[in-house]
Structure formats: C-alpha cells, structure tokens
Amino acid sequence: MKWSELLCFDEKGLIPTIVQDADTGQVLMFAYMNEEALRKTLETGLVHFWSRTRQKLWQKGEQSGHTQQVVEVRCDCDPPDALLVRVQQKGGACHQGYRSCFYRRLDPEGEATVVGQRVFDPEEVYKRQS
C-alpha cells in the first residue's frame, strides 16, 4: 500500500513526527510534516518539516548546517497517525544548541533542570545567517 493512502494526516494536513538518532536511540526532536515534507524527505534522504509558525516547508539544518540524514522512516499502528524518522544527526538537532531538543528534565518539585550539553553556540550559528 502507498504511504499516501495509508497515513492519517490531521485536519491541517499535518502528521506528528519524532526524530531519533539511529545509532543511540536518543530522541532528538519533535516536529510536524505534511505530505510535501514527507515526500521531500523520502526523495532527498534529508529531513524536511512543515513550519506551523512560518507556514512553509523547511529542511532541517538549512540555516545551521546541522542536517539529518534519513536512515529509515516508520509509521505507527492503526490508524497510522504519527511518524518516527531515524537519522544520522550532524551536529545538534535543537536550535538552542543542544544535541536533542529534550535537554531539560522536569522534577516533581516543579524544577526544570538542564541535563544536556550544548554542542554549538546558537548565537554564532544563527548570527551569520542574518
């Protein structure tokens, strides 16, 4: 069956997408894809998403150079309404400079503690893109 017939995109034409490091299993980020983003991801081997804030297609790493090379794309079970993209991550996945967007731990006491290490300086990376 073709993925275009199988997947359940939401009313806005989006599907939640989790990105995972193929070697370590670390969850790197969460974003949304539309059909065009998924098609470009499968065609190019580089991960693309739909930006809900900018209302446009974007390739991960297009500004930072921290791209995600696709190893495989999986969908969840019945009905398939979420994607898991396993990647080889170049640099950091988080625009805040961390390898993973999930770099804070929430404690029962209400504290949010940084547990990840920055792998790049976002001020430097995004300043040169201006």
Q: Is residue 110 part of a domain?
A: no
Residue 16 domain-assigned (yes or no): yes
Q: Domain for residue 108, yes or no?
A: no
Decide if 11 is inside a domain.
yes
- In a domain? residue 116: no
CATH of the domain at 17: 3.10.20.810
Extract the tokens encoding 52: 């809900």
In a domain, 8, yes or no: yes
21 DSSP β-pair partners: 87
Domain count of the fold of the chain: 1
What pLDDT, on the 0 to 100 scale, is given for residue 129?
Answer: 56
- Contacts for 44 with CB less than 8 Å, ≥ 6 apart: 59
Whether pLDDT at 113 is above 80: yes
Residue 78: pLDDT band with limits 50, 70, 90:
confident
Query: 51 lies in a domain?
Result: yes
Neighbours of 39 (CB within 10 A): 14
Region 82-89 average pLDDT: 98
Q: What is the pLDDT of residues 5-47, one digit of tens each?
A: 999 999 999 999 999 999 999 999 999 999 999 999 999 999 9
Q: What pLDDT, on a 0 to 100 scale, did the predictor assign at position 128?
A: 60
Q: Which two tokens stand for residue 48?
A: 């693309």
- Averaged confidence pLDDT in the chain: 96
Per-residue buried b or exposed e for 79-95, using 16+ beta carbons within 10 Å of the residue's own CB:
eeeebebbbebebbbbe
User: Residue 8: which domain range?
Assistant: 3-93
pTM: 0.93
Query: What string of H, E and C letters represents the secondary structure of 28-65?
Result: EEEEEECHHHHHHHHHHCECEEEECCCCEEEECCCCCC
Question: Is 126 a domain residue?
Answer: no
| β 83-89/15-21 pair status | parallel
Is pLDDT above 80 for 130?
Answer: no
Percent of the chain at pLDDT > 70 equals: 98
